[in-house]
Structure 1
Amino acid sequence: MNVEWTPELRARAQVHAALGEPARLAIVDRLVLGDASPTELGRDLGLPGNLLAHHLKLLEQAGVVERSRSEGDRRRTYLRLRPASLAGLQPSGTLSAPRVVFVCTRNSARSQLAAAIWAGQSPVPAASAGTRPAARIHPRATAVARARGLSLARARTSLVEEVLREDDLVVAVCDNAHEELGTRAAGRLHWSVPDPARVDTDSAFDHAFHDLADRIHRLTPAVHLPGEQTDD
């Protein structure tokens, strides 16, 4: 019997094959909640460089992960999950935190939008801050939030040192902030969301909003207040 497999079926099979190995599945689990550089992945998962490179190559070929160049240190690259390739994937395990703090460089767009989106989806309180905060919220960030029923009218920019508490779950939503935080907030997550202010168009801010909303949709089921009962 001659069977013609469709390209879609072959692509799905390639994804299943890529995930059918513990190390590659562990890489995907790590990238579900946040982006990471190859060095960070190797450190977190205890994988030597050559073995990590092999697994990443297969995941990239299957369209599960992709790379982007850091907007901060251009020598760095970050790996991010392509959610569409893993429809229905949910974070494994849970995180306990009394508050989530979104951090970017200027605290004028991405971190403010992330905190506003989060507030509408999770009972865990949210705040935002910047490593080098601007004087005001970017007008396009205010506009894109308003267009989606969110308000940044009362939002103000803040310096990260004035906001962070020891038990916060920190999410760095830009490369610069992730790199500038260094050893602070060591257990933080990192989302490599491009800076829409660099392009400064409505389209760029729309793209940033959708990127953040998608990531928050994946993260909220995994984050709970301390002592809160979960179904896990």
Structure 2
Amino acid sequence: MIEISELEQRAAGHAALGDPIRLAMVDELLLGDRSPGELGQAFNLSSNLLAHHLKVLQDAALITRARSESDRRRSYVRLLPDTLAGLTPTPSIPMAAERVVFVCTHNSARSQLAAALWGRRSHLPAASAGTEPAAHVHPRALSTARRHRLRLQPRGTAHVGDTVRAGDLVVAVCDSAYEHLPARPPLHWSVPDPVPADTDDAFERAYTDLSGRVDRLATALTPAVIPVEHHRPAKDTP
């Protein structure tokens, strides 16, 4: 769970960057340091207004100021990139899993593409399944996968009841699966079904949506620690 103090710090950072001048100052400092005078000149600010903006940024821990080693009468403003990076939204709860299982209704398109994308993005194992699996993977899902150099098995569909096991993180990639699974999965991606439209564009939109979501989850997910017993080889029987 995210600490309130951390949320308050992030909120202060976002509030500081809510002013166009301060946001432009951060852009200016992204690749190099500037003196206060240089910033004031760049943005045509009076000394009082410049001091106000710099104080807000410093109070939000977005910048720091230090004296010149050459001329102690001078000072330079430096961006604190760690604080800036910390403004990115983070999961509200820590997540860990031994495997990720992507589920949709027919296991013929979205869940298949999600599992294939995951295999390219993470070393953590993945699988896909459906609540009412079709006999085969949708032809346009196969062609979409080929365009993006992903591998799908044409008849590789499976039922969720035969697939999900303890330690899995279940991700419902369609509304129907999320609403009809006996136990609500912890994650739900409301990805529009491309099958009714049955066009390359619809499947590409689903692919793009899933790709971004997979990237975000792969960054946030921690592999679960598997008990030692799972790794021990079976003893030879005499």
Is 2:178–2:185's contact at 8 Å kept on the other side of the alignment? Answer: no
Partner of 1:139 in structure 2?
Answer: 139
Secondary structure of the structure 2 residue equivalent to 1:103: strand
Give the drift of 1:89: 3.7
Partner of 2:109 in structure 1?
Answer: 109
Q: Which amino acid aligns with 1:121?
A: R
Partner of 2:194 in structure 1?
Answer: 196
Partner of 1:165 in structure 2?
Answer: 165
Identity %: 51
Structure possessing the higher radius of gyration over alpha carbons: 2
CA distance in 1, matches of 2:204, 2:181: 26
Secondary structure of the structure 2 residue equivalent to 1:118: helix
Give the drift of 1:91: 3.5
CA distance in 2, matches of 1:96, 1:168: 9
Secondary structure of the structure 2 residue equivalent to 1:112: helix
CA distance in 2, matches of 1:129, 1:211: 19
CA distance in 2, matches of 1:16, 1:192: 33
Partner of 2:180 in structure 1?
Answer: 180
Over 3 Å counting, the alpha-carbon distance change for 1:15 and 1:161 in structure 2 is farther
CA distance in 2, matches of 1:153, 1:164: 19
Give the drift of 1:227: 3.0
Give the drift of 1:124: 0.9
CA distance in 2, matches of 1:171, 1:226: 16
- Matching of residues 40-51 of structure 1 within 5 Å: none
Q: Which runs of 5+ in 1 are unaligned?
A: 1-13, 19-86
CA distance in 1, matches of 2:168, 2:155: 19
Higher relative contact order (CA 8 A, sep 6+): 1
Over 3 Å counting, the alpha-carbon distance change for 1:115 and 1:89 in structure 2 is same
CA distance in 2, matches of 1:197, 1:90: 32
Is 2:100–2:169's contact at 8 Å kept on the other side of the alignment? Answer: yes
Partner of 1:209 in structure 2?
Answer: 207
Deviations 1:134-188 (A, max 9, x none): 00000100111110111113660001100010221000000000011032xx452
- Matching of residues 53-64 of structure 1 within 5 Å: none
Partner of 2:223 in structure 1?
Answer: 225
Over 3 Å counting, the alpha-carbon distance change for 1:201 and 1:94 in structure 2 is same
CA distance in 1, matches of 2:161, 2:17: 45
Q: Which amino acid aligns with 2:131?
A: T
Q: Which runs of 5+ in 2 are unaligned?
A: 1-13, 19-86, 227-238
CA distance in 2, matches of 1:123, 1:154: 23
CA distance in 1, matches of 2:167, 2:191: 24
Task: State how many pairs are aligned.
Answer: 146
Over 3 Å counting, the alpha-carbon distance change for 1:176 and 1:93 in structure 2 is closer
CA distance in 1, matches of 2:93, 2:137: 35
